[in-house]
Amino acid sequence: MLRYLNQCSRGRGAWLLMAFTAFVLEMVALYFQHVMLLKPCVMCIYERCALFGVMGAGIVGAIAPRTPLRFIALGIWIYSAWQGIRLSYEHTMIQLHPNPFTTCDFAARFPAWLPLDKWLPSVFVASGDCAERGWTFLSLSMPQWMIVVFAFYLIAAVLVTLAQPFKPKRRDLFSR
């Protein structure tokens, strides 16, 4: 299995698939926001940023998958998935244990050199309450589902990273 994962990480298809899945999840988030009119909170916006990090890792990995750039993509992938789990867990705790003294910020805090809320306000401006459970599916709220999504991304990233020393077998038509 590890040889197979190594082989997959050296091709563009797996990286593009990962970027595509993150893109689809971003589109679903925008559908919830603009069509279903669910207001994203600050934690939702930060979780979106982590998902954009996973998508960015897929794009970086697809650029040159047979070069050391693959390892940079793996680093971005692991960091983004880990931050996504952390943020989703924190968001879930705010929803499950509402406390008037523990609330999220009113607006997302982006660095001055990357003011995403100014550049794309329709995607990165928060207007909801973190403690509100506006949507559930199979009794899980959106941040709980995001824990599951980011956990899958993290497990896959760790397995692909562990697979890097295992070189794929060369298949030769005339060898035994």
**Residue in 8, 48, 70, 86 annotated catalytic:** 48
- Does residue 130 have an active-site annotation? yes
**Residue in 12, 86, 130, 170 annotated catalytic:** 130
Please give the Cα distance from 150 to 143 (Å, whole number): 10
- Does residue 171 have an active-site annotation? no
**Residue in 3, 12, 41, 176 annotated catalytic:** 41
- Does residue 8 have an active-site annotation? no
The amino acid present at 147, given as its one-letter code, is I
Residue 58 β-bridge partners: none
Phi, psi dihedral angles at 156 (to 5 degrees): -65, -40
Please give the Cα distance from 110 to 107 (Å, whole number): 9
Please give the Cα distance from 48 to 84 (Å, whole number): 8
Please give the Cα distance from 16 to 18 (Å, whole number): 5
Q: What is the DSSP letter of 130?
A: T
**Residue in 12, 104, 133, 170 annotated catalytic:** 104
Residues forming the active site:
41, 44, 48, 104, 130
